[in-house]
Structure 1
Amino acid sequence: MEIQYEWQRIAADLERRITAGEIPKGGRLENERELADHYGVSAGTVRRAVGDLRERGLVATLPAKGTYVL
């Protein structure tokens, strides 16, 4: 059994939503506070998950605009 951190679980769920088309290319992710509320975690945990998606080239964050699917 592999142990996952919460940020990894969230990143995996967001990736699943992106690949399934639930969040389409060019679509905007919810903001950190909304995602934190949705997943029941801190904004820092969401920030880490989104950072992982950004590092893997799935999303891009535009300052003061939001995070979008690439």
Structure 2
Amino acid sequence: MKRIYFLIMSAFFSVMALAQEGGGADLDVNITKTTDTASFPWLWVVGGIVLLVLLIALLGGRGRDRVIERKTVVRE
């Protein structure tokens, strides 16, 4: 059991160590250029319609497919 635990933990730490390497990453952060999502009102309308369709699909059929089965057992 200790050996399996050691193997799992060493694999986990080696993956973490490999994830730290990368060295040659070149990042270009451009703060001044922004895209405003408020300038796309059609995007909000489409998102709202999709949300409504999902809610209706998930919550619309409640109670119709429920089957209630009752059994009466008479003992003498």
Larger Rg: 2
Q: TM-score, normalised by structure 1?
A: 0.24
TM-score (norm 2): 0.23
The structure whose residues are more often strand, as a share, is 1
